[in-house]
Amino acid sequence: MPAYVVFMRDETLDPVEFQEYSNKVDASFEGHEMTPLADYGDLETLEGDEIEGAVILQFPDMDAARAWYRSPAYQATAQHRFQGARYRGFIVAGL
């Protein structure tokens, strides 16, 4: 069953670091089966605090999503995201 990685950007802290993350993140998907479903498109908050943006990525299953997130390539890239913005993120199993 598919799994979805969801990131919600709450606040940009350092635009330079965030741009570095944006420049490098695509390379982290190499060797990982992933389909982008949403990528900072038009956004309407229905409930809760406003967010700056959201990303939804589909992976074949929970293990594949975890493998990408925990991969050395993504973890090295994610350091720029951690410095560049405050995020919330999770993996959820699909139906």
Q: What is the DSSP string of 25-91?
A: GGGGGTTS--EEEEES-S----SSS--SEEEEEEESSHHHHHHHHHSHHHHHHHHHHHHHEEEEEEE
Enter the tokens of residue 64: 């594949």
**Domain residue limits, the chain:** 3-43+51-93
- Chain segment 37-48, per-residue pLDDT in tens: 999 999 999 999
Coil, helix or strand at residue 24: helix
Model pTM score: 0.94
Residues linked to residue 53 through DSSP beta bridges, in sequence order: 9
The tens digit of pLDDT for each residue in 59-89 reads 999 999 999 999 999 999 999 999 999 999 9
Amino acid at 48: G
How buried is 65 (Cβ within 10 angstroms: 0-12 exposed, 13-18 middle, 19+ buried)?
buried
Distance separating alpha carbons of residues 17 and 23, to the nearest angstrom: 10
Return the CATH fold of 3-43+51-93.
Alpha-Beta Plaits (3.30.70)
